A = this chain, B = another copy of it.
Amino acid sequence: MSNNDENKGEACHRSRCPVSCLLELIGDKWTLLVVRDLLFDKHTFKELQSSPEKIPTNILADRLKRLEHSGLVRREQYQERPKRYAYHLTEKGQDLNPVMESMILWSNKHIPETYKLEDILNLGSE
């Protein structure tokens, strides 16, 4: 079990359904893309901003704040002047990997033009 008492009850405003509760944390078009990028070793604001979906700056800042608030991401200062932060998934955030993988499998089956997992890994290293 996770040690996330400080976040207990922050999801689940609508019902105690696990799908609904998770959607309160990640149910939008952008949050999981940030999680995806963090999984693929992007950690600075600039790196996260550079993805092909062109996430707007204000949305990226907002989603990082929410992800941190809900215990999925931790922020670490890596430079003093000027202050710079890097973002890392917590264990709770990394545990979204199977959700992501099941989404990839679905899309690869039903949307022919999507990149396969190995393509994504190659893209990440470009």
Contacts and interface: CB of A to CB of B under 8 A. Distances in A.
Contacts of A109: 1-2, 95
Contacts of A49: none
Contacts of A92: 110
Nearest to A119: B16
Number of copies of this protein chain within its complex: 2
Contacts of A29: 23-24, 27-28
Given A23-B29, A109-B1, A110-B4, A16 B115 contact: yes
Contacts of A101: 102
Contact of A111 (B18, B30, B52, B114): B18
Interface in A77-94: 92
Residue with the highest number of chain B CB atoms closer than 10 Å, among A4, A17, A109, A110:
A110
A54 B20 CA distance: 11
A12 B114 contact: yes
A9 B113 contact: yes
Interface in A23-60: 23-24, 27-30, 32-33, 36, 51-54
